[in-house]
Structure 1
């Protein structure tokens, strides 16, 4: 069976749209895969601050060369600094970073409340929205069994600590005010509860909706492409029939 120019054009008119459609589908799948890999490989920002390398050379003993220099020095060795007595324990703990990126104190106990929900666009850069862009509400209450809630001994009368004897009342009040200012500010309080946010994983309902949306878009592209291919083939076939009829003179015989 010989391949005439008309048949070649008809074959190309069928194959070319299919090739374009398959190329477009491959590009869409590749872009989706790259975006998914980028989201998974995104590092957790609030976990990077704990990986601080420790330099062993800071604690190395002095070398023999340094000891020789000290022995040849005309100046006497300076006296060691006086050892100050340890101060009283701090009754106001400084805020620590929660495991999910929320500023919580050590005397707060947080529990998840509600389901995961997508973060609004203006909060996508927050730590509690990483890495999947979802968050979940948490209710934090004060832990009554925490050691920080127990008042220190000797607070009712005169203190026997040398720290109190050495510092003036003005210095103690300023340190107390700094400790009060360093405590975290709650997001909002409702009936003794502090509301906060924590990072959340993927939402199955949203993932299913995105998957079906992707499939629906692909089906729509396939239907539109097939409709264009069928219409194009009919137009090309009708044009070929008119050219063939004009060449063999069918139209002229009918007019005669």
Structure 2
């Protein structure tokens, strides 16, 4: 099921959009201003954000820029009545993935949401999770702003998992994302994950790569870090022997 955050201060329009998206089996949260939008985005995982530009308290362009500055790669569709080319270019420069001019047809919005929901934004230049950061353009990894050395494959593995933070990535999807059609040896993923985990531990990273039995892999805050932040451990400890438990 696709989860959407709608950021729109026109309550009538917002109600119509929410009703239509829910008819399409999409779950939709709503924020009526830019400050509330940032709170929603920081505390909840979304597949797509539908973001109006003209908002009270904090405009949509600033919201988009702050989201990208935080390393969040959730796809963003800008909604606006501004239809000039320079307006669209400004939206893309701030980190938007798509642009829809008001008034618009609801089926078109649904189609755009559906397409973006199955990928992550390419507008992000940095990924952050816990005390780990990745600079995507330079392919640099750091823990607490101190660079750490990763192999090219290790960097790609970590990037792929961080792009799905909060979600479990099936083993085959992880293989496809890292190696594509060049299927590696049977134990290649195991070896690279082991080396990546070792590098994170040596650098005192407060995140770890977990194997979820029968499901795949994900990144999560370490248990002590989650306790410090008052969070529950949402993943069960890996006690079973499982083909994905490396």
TM over 0.5: no
More strand by share: 2
Q: Shorter-chain TM-score category?
A: under 0.3
Whose relative contact order is higher, 1 or 2, with alpha carbons under 8 Å and at least 6 apart?
1
- Under a length normalisation based on structure 1, what TM-score does the superposition of the two structures give? 0.17
- Under a length normalisation based on structure 2, what TM-score does the superposition of the two structures give? 0.17
More helix by share: 1
